[in-house]
Amino acid sequence: MKTNKTLKGSFILALILMMAVFAAACGGNNGNSEPSASSDNTSNNGGEAVEKVELKVATWAGAGELSEFEELVSGLNAKSDQYEIEIQSIPADYYQKLQTMIAGKQAPDFMWLSQEHIPQYAKLGVLQPLDELLKETDGFNRDDYFDGAYNVSVYQEQAYALPWISQPYMLYFNQDMFEEAGVEVPANDWTWEQFIAAGEKLTKDGQWGALLNNMPLPMFMWSYGGDTFDENGDIVLGEEGAIKGLEMYQRIASSGIAPERATADSMGGADMFKTGKVGMFMGGAGDDLEKTVSFNVGMAVPPKGTEQVTFSWIGVTAMSKSTENPEVAAQALVDMTQAMHEWKVPAPTKTALDLIAEARPDKAYAVDTIRAASEVARGFNNQPQQAEIDTMIWEKLTQPLEQGEDVQKAVDETVEKFEKIIK
């Protein structure tokens, strides 16, 4: 649940970042500074010694993940005669510390971000626009990215980051439970109607057909062609597709096929699936469910209304506006991102997605299904005020709908709040 603390934090973030941008404009790099360099010399084609450009990347990786990332970066540094990447690990309070670095004019050249942060950072001038830089960068191929994964990096028609992972939400199901109940297992073209029908047959004392509380509410709107905001940042929550999606969510929530939110929260959503208390569960394509259960697990693309679509959690690497050599940094960004596509799965690119079968043999059975989901996966049309928007969705839509409030009334009140937030 979002709280006033979240709202306050968002305001402080905006204030800190605005101060950083102002400071940079007044006393920052005037364009004549030489890029920082390491002491490791290499030779160019003319035999002259040249210095590698030093670049820092901020990451929330810690422990084993950090060790793997260090190995990846070490390999890149050994191959490149242009750059030397240094890792700055911030495993705790990541965004708070990152914001402090930016305000103190010590921003790293690269930073890991979750997709919802891009519009706010971009609007405040913290991030380097990438479109023109990427055109001149070896190895970059926009067409190789799944559209939904790449589009979260775009704000006002300009790309500000490159995705390194895309976790589409999948419909996991307990095959043994379906077989015991004599119910046909989910298919990639299932509808919400079929989802409800199967859930009703699976639900009995102490067992539910499905779990809903971890599904983003906009997924239901998307499946009927609706949304909260469109790509231009205009509010479209009141349009027909969004209303239909919310009506379907409310219908499922009141159907009895899923435990009430309080029950699911207390027992743990994923744990309820792992222990056989729910037959269907929405989770990320890379989740370790297959490794932690005693029954056979199946996977399908989430059900649809009028359109096939699913949510994806997408991580990106953005370039700081303050980096002193953006051309070299762009090459490092592309090289680093491509290497990460072979490390972090599922990859956001078409050519690297099949690597999930090598990295995670337990997922080999579902590669085609994950690819089908990746083709229709997307993130939110995030806004600079996304934290406040998420709070309103929770308080004014999700909770009231689960409590049986009139859909149109809840939508009207949410739109009113949205208008105040983005004005």
Q: What is the pLDDT of residue 48?
A: 57
Q: What is the pLDDT of residue 162?
A: 98
Q: What is the pLDDT of residue 49?
A: 54
Write down the CATH superfamily of domain 168-310+384-422.
Answer: Periplasmic binding protein-like II (3.40.190.10)
Cα–Cα nearest to 88, from 70, 103, 76, 72: 70
Residues in the chain: 423
Residues 33-53: pLDDT tens digits? 333 334 344 445 455 557 999
d(CA 55, CA 44): 20
Residues 135-167: pLDDT tens digits? 999 999 999 999 999 999 999 999 999 999 999
DSSP annotation of 127: B
Burial of 376 (0-12, 13-18, 19+ CB in 10 A): buried
d(CA 105, CA 139): 31
Q: How many CB atoms lie within 10 A of CB 21?
A: 19
The ranges assigned to domains in the chain are: 12-166+313-378, 168-310+384-422
Write down the CATH superfamily of domain 12-166+313-378.
Answer: Periplasmic binding protein-like II (3.40.190.10)
For the record, the structure tokens of 384 come out as 């600079």
pLDDT band at 11 (very low <50, low <70, confident <90, very high): very low
Residues 209-221: pLDDT tens digits? 999 888 899 999 9
* Helices 4-27 and 94-103, axial angle in degrees (round to 10): 30
The pLDDT of residue 345 is above 60: yes
Question: What radius of gyration do the chain's Cα atoms show?
Answer: 23
For the record, the structure tokens of 391 come out as 């709070």
Q: How far is CA 5 from the centre of its chain?
A: 22
Residues 52-108: pLDDT tens digits? 999 999 999 999 999 999 999 999 999 999 999 999 999 999 999 999 999 999 999
Across the chain, mean pLDDT equals 90
The pLDDT of residue 249 is above 60: yes
Burial of 76 (0-12, 13-18, 19+ CB in 10 A): middle
Region 113-131 average pLDDT: 96
Same fold, 12-166+313-378 and 168-310+384-422: yes
d(CA 327, CA 321): 12
The pLDDT of residue 298 is above 50: yes
Q: What is the pLDDT of residue 35?
A: 35
pLDDT band at 12 (very low <50, low <70, confident <90, very high): very low
For the record, the structure tokens of 353 come out as 């997605």
Q: For residue 272, what are the CA distances in angstroms to 269, 275, 320, 341?
A: 5, 5, 42, 31
